[in-house]
Structure 1
Amino acid sequence: MPKASRRCPAKGCKNLIKHTKYCEDHTESWATPSGWQRPPGWEKLRQDVLERDDWICYLCGRPGADTADHVTPVSQGGTHTMGNLAAVHDRTPPHCHRTKTNQDKAIRVRR
């Protein structure tokens, strides 16, 4: 049975939500300070990676991956090819992509 819509739990918010904790207005956006921009055809490429990996996160091995990650970051010579992309959790917990990105930043700072 499909899940019914409900109101966002943020105080005073009247937006309806499904399958999320809060509406987009009350979900912290994850800015890309690196300046990375999606290459042409990214949405199709992202979808192809998710389907290839069966929506299984390559970092934690759990289902529900929702985006594609550059295994070797573009800033370190990685490419936008299927061979360098893997499915990963980003928008939904456990946010493996954000954790990996923060760890990569910490390593770069220590150098």
Structure 2
Amino acid sequence: MPRVRRCRYPGCHTMCQLPDHYCKQHYEHEAEYLASRQKWARSHGTEYQRKYNNVTRYRDDTKSAQYHFYKSRQWQSLRKQVLERDHYVCQYCGKPNSKTVDHVIPIEFDSKLQADTDNLATICRDCHRLKTAWEQRHYGTGKDNQLIAGAEPIHDVDVIAKLMTL
């Protein structure tokens, strides 16, 4: 039996055989669609990935080491310990089923706390987004930012939770 998919034309629910994207009635749009896909693929090819890796991920030795730490077995073990310790509950807002582990004090600010479980907390996606923005203002972390020399490290999750919502 041939594999089929729904026609990509808006409002058309006719099934068409793979590899086509449009049914017989709307087939004139097929060439335009394929051309747009090829154009996107050319603009997001290996050069795009290389630029992302060199400019963002591996922009300096420190960021490269941080990225490799997050791929290590040590991090996987620490992450699992913290998730079980916090029972998969966000320590900032109390949302259950949170699966992200975050450094309370960012490792860009203090790299000695990288593998310290006391500096790790479970966090949900919404709080992680707010906390990252707060860290950029408070510590000066993030891409193209300069660390603030006189920034006082805050260890208390409850205090950070209040500050990041201001």
TM (norm. structure 1) is: 0.57
Instruction: Determine whether 1:82 maps to 2:117.
Output: yes
Question: For 1:68-107, what aligned pairs fall within 5 Å after superposition?
Answer: 68-77=101-110, 78-90=113-125, 95-107=126-138
Pair 1:66-2:105 in alignment:
no
Describe how 1:1-111 pairs up with structure 2 within 5 A. 33=56, 35=63, 36-37=66-67, 38=70, 40-41=72-73, 42-77=75-110, 78-90=113-125, 95-107=126-138, 108=140
Structure 1 residues not aligned, in runs of 5+: 1-10, 13-32
Shift in Å, 1:39 = 5.6
Measured in 2, the distance between the counterparts of 1:84 and 1:72 equals: 6
The one-letter amino acid of 2:134's match is Q
Identify the structure with bigger relative contact order (alpha carbons < 8 Å, sequence gap 6+): 1
Q: For residue 108 of structure 2, give the secondary structure of its aligned residue in structure 1.
A: helix
Name the aligned partner's letter for residue 40 of structure 1. Answer: S
SS at match of 1:86: strand
Deviations 1:64-111 (A, max 9, x none): 211111011101113222111111113xxxx211210012113326x6
Report the Cα distance in structure 1 between the residues aligned to 2:120 and 2:135, rounded to whole angstroms. Answer: 16
Q: CA RMSD in A?
A: 2.6
Aligned-residue sequence identity (percent) comes to 33
Letter in 2 for 1:100: K
Letter in 2 for 1:58: Q
Helix, strand or coil: the match of 2:132?
Answer: helix
Q: Which structure 2 segments of 5+ residues have no match?
A: 1-7, 10-55, 58-62, 149-166
- Count of aligned residue pairs for this structure pair: 77
Bigger fraction of residues in helix? 2
For residues 75 and 44 of structure 1, what CA distance do their matches in structure 2 show?
Answer: 21
**Larger Cα Rg: Structure 1 or Structure 2?**
2
